[in-house]
Amino acid sequence: MSFNDPIAELLTKIRNAKDAQHRFVDLSYSKMKVKILELMKHHGFIDHFLVNEEQFKMRVFLRYTKERGSVIRGLKRESKSGCRHYLGYREVPRILNGTGIAILSTPQGIVDGETARNLKVGGEILCTVW
């Protein structure tokens, strides 16, 4: 099945798996998705993920609390394929006073909002996770 927006597919599949309390979710592979998942892992929103480049597949293991509540409260696609949303580094939002992250595509690569502010680079805001 082909998708027009692979980032929206990633976020939707994670959101659906989180709501159904699945342990993991399988996704198609792309380098951009791997970078987004690395940021989510670094900030503690997912446990880990496995990449099988030969079959172009990835498996993302979701993170839950001891009460079986998801660590991820929400995911939102900000810049859509029909309406791109670009920000300067001063305009990068702080999500829930720093408990969430904004993920941006910048000239320095895909980074979180705090890193973009520190590097003083703006770019396209891809999504927010809280």
Over the stretch 25-71, which tens digit does the pLDDT of each residue have?
999 999 999 999 999 999 999 999 999 989 999 999 999 999 999 99
Q: Coil, strand or helix: which one is 83?
A: coil
Question: Whole-model pTM?
Answer: 0.93
Cα-Cα-Cα-Cα torsion 42, 47, 51, 52, nearest 10 degrees, comes to: 170
Please provide the average confidence, as pLDDT, over all residues in the chain: 95
Please say whether the beta carbons of 87 and 125 come within 8 A: yes
Residues 6+ apart with CB under 8 A from 54: none
Q: Residue 103 phi/psi, 5° resolution?
A: -110, 125
For residues 63-84, give the mean pLDDT: 94
48, containing H or E segment: strand 46-52
Domains and CATH numbers, the chain: 6-62 (3.30.1370.30), 75-129 (3.30.1490.10)
CA–CA gap between residue 31 and residue 116 (Å, rounded): 20
Report percent pLDDT > 90 for the chain: 93
